[in-house]
Amino acid sequence: MRIALAETDPDIARCFPVMAQLRPHLVEREFVPRVRAMQGSDHFHLAFVEDGGAVRAVAGYRYENKLVSGKNLYVDDLITDGAQRSRGHGRALLAWLIEQAKQHRCDSFELDSGVQRFDAHRFYFRERMHVSAYHFVRKLH
């Protein structure tokens, strides 16, 4: 098992099939340019777990500073390939992300999870995370 940053177009593209399981609205031909734009303007990082020559889990994240929580590593996206769950890929990627947060001297590690993702919530609770707030959204178009 290997964890790496997707920093080349081919590596970013390899992450699409797993990411699309979490974000089905994404369009494959737009994925690499969108990630590249986010990497440039939003300091977005895309990490992946590779095992057996295939991408098994993916995480999109960034570093932020907030008045409420100080410096944090915020995870936008965290998904394990549905056909590969319970094999340690998600746990390994989560541990790697937390280690990145520690190395960057973050005060906290944060993520949001859709209210319908019950299996993900059980996983996060097992990993000693807790619900600290509600996240409210208003669509603008």
Distances from the Cα of 86 to the Cα of 12, 52, 54, 90, angstroms: 24, 16, 16, 8
Burial of 93 (0-12, 13-18, 19+ CB in 10 A): buried
pTM of the model: 0.85
pLDDT, tens only, 28-38: 999 999 999 99
Three-state DSSP at 92 gives helix
Question: Would you say residue 106 has pLDDT above 90?
Answer: yes
Question: Would you say residue 136 has pLDDT above 80?
Answer: no
Query: To which CATH superfamily is domain 2-126 assigned?
Result: Gcn5-related N-acetyltransferase (GNAT) (3.40.630.30)
Q: What is the pLDDT averaged over residues 76-89?
A: 90
